[in-house]
Structure 1
Amino acid sequence: MKIDLKKTIPSYSARHGQFSLMQVPPLQYLMLDGQGDPNTSVDYSDAVSSLYPVAYVVKFLSKTELDRDYVVPPLEALWWADDMTAFTTERDKSRWHWTVMIGLPDWLDAEHVETARERVRHKGGAPVLDHVRLETLEEGLSVQTLHVGSYDDEAPVLAAMHTEFIPAQGLRRTGRHHEIYLSDPRRMPAERLRTILRQPVERDSA
């Protein structure tokens, strides 16, 4: 049976028009870091085009050598800026920092990733292959919602999450803004894109 992590891990689900609190389990990802406008940055396109080959070769290894098949999870990203207004209100993408990520099931480890990396290296076409890393992300308590529409229309939703919902719940932000891309922008019109917006939080002790 092919496992779909989106269906087995509750934090891959969110409701449109509703903020919800949930406990996100520790999850491991293939990751790559960078900075700049994702629409124009060569670094961003290089990162994405290096993550996917590794992710699919690891999946092939899992299926053929471990007899455990799974659906490659969607692309995800952490986003931040030195001044977060560049992300939530001004949308100055040139000032954004990011970590692009693809999840891996917990039965896979660094040895599998390294084997996959060497196979991808022989094929070529992954420009920043050596910078792909495996890391566990521990977000814990988080607020999330489902955004339907263009990425550029996220700002009002994020503002409401950060300045209204989170303080009203006696919480404060801790980790980095997290997006999970449930739709492929190459195949879906912008107004129908589905993206989970997540913000790790903690109880405000003040």
Structure 2
Amino acid sequence: MDKYDVRKQFKELYAPRARDFAVVTVPPLNYLMLDGQGNPGTAPEYAAALEALYSVSYAVKFASKHAGRDYAVGPLEGLWMADDPGAFTRGDKDSWKWTMMIPQPDWIGPADLQDGIANAAAKKVPRLDRLRLETLDEGLSVQILHIGSYDDEAPTLHRLHHEFMPANGFGFAGPHHEIYLSDARRVAPEKLKTILRQPVRRI
């Protein structure tokens, strides 16, 4: 049996171009999620969230492989929010709220999650009690590939929010969604590849 890979299964969603905005329809997808708040570059809570997500995702993957269904662990993704939307343009990262998440195959259920949490708990991984398995249904969305530093996303997002969306009759229908195709620990900031996605609705 072929190894399942969400990036290959949904290539249109995980391989956009960097030149143009693309309108896509995102089906309901399952994610392992963890909520938090604070600067992703400095907040201990953010680092702990990633450790919990990756530890449990790999524990669940290896258990599934042992049971006969192998798959590639999906990329890290994040939903980003703020009580004051201006916090993003001002760079007020301490007030950012986020949901970090990793996609899971549709055959992974609550029992698999609990087994993965138990495995990670034996290794003293933090924040495990805050993990949840949830289906995200974004539907109609606009996305583009951003190449470069996370801090350089603002001009692209400004074009999306103030030019492309109004010109095409779109309004906001969910939080800003980022998909991290590069490992920031190993890739230079100017070469980072990040999908910027915005769920939308017709207005």
TM over 0.5: yes
Residue 30 of structure 1 aligns with which residue?
32
Q: Secondary structure at the match of 2:122?
A: helix
d(CA) in 2 for partners of 1:194 and 1:79? 17
**Which residue of structure 2 aligns with residue 2 of structure 1?**
3
Partner in structure 2 of residue 121 of structure 1:
121
Cα distance between partner residues in 2 of 1:163 and 1:92: 21
3-state SS of 2:100 partner = strand
Aligned mates of 1:183, 1:176 — CA distance in 2: 21
In structure 2, the partner of 1:150 is 149
Whole-Å separation in 1 of the counterparts to 2:42 and 2:120: 25
Structure 2 letter corresponding to 1:39: G
Q: Which moved more, 1:138-147 or 1:7-16?
A: 7-16
AA in 2 matched with 1:8: Q
Secondary structure at the residue paired with 1:199?
Answer: strand
Identity %, equivalent residues: 54
CA distance in 1, matches of 2:93, 2:148: 18
TM-score, normalization by structure 1? 0.95
Post-superposition offset of 1:134: 0.4
> Shift of the alpha carbon at 1:85?
2.0
CA offset at residue 23 of structure 1? 0.1
AA aligned opposite 2:201: E
Work out whether 1:80 is the aligned partner of 2:85: no
Once the 2 structures are TM-superposed, how far is the Cα of residue 118 of structure 1 from its aligned partner? 1.0
Q: How does 1:140-179 map to 2 (within 5 A)?
A: 140-179=139-178
Structure 2, unpaired ranges of 5+: none
Give 1:123 deviation, angstroms.
2.2
Root-mean-square deviation (CA, aligned residues, Å) is 0.8
Q: Could you list the structure 1 runs, at least 4 aligned residues long, displaced by more than 3 angstroms after superposition.
A: none
Following TM superposition, by how much is the alpha carbon of 1:95 offset from its aligned partner in structure 2, in angstroms?
1.4
Structure 1's unaligned 5+ residue stretches are none
Q: How many residues align?
A: 201
Look up the match of 1:197.
Answer: 196
Q: Per-residue CA shift, 1:51-106, capped at 9, x if unaligned?
A: 101000110111111x111110010000011121211x212111110000001001
Match of 2:93 in 1: 93
Amino acid paired to 1:78: L
Which AA in structure 2 matches 1:12?
Answer: Y
Structure 1 residues 99-114: aligned runs within 5 Å: 99-114=99-114
Partner of 2:13: 11
Q: TM-score, normalised by structure 2?
A: 0.97
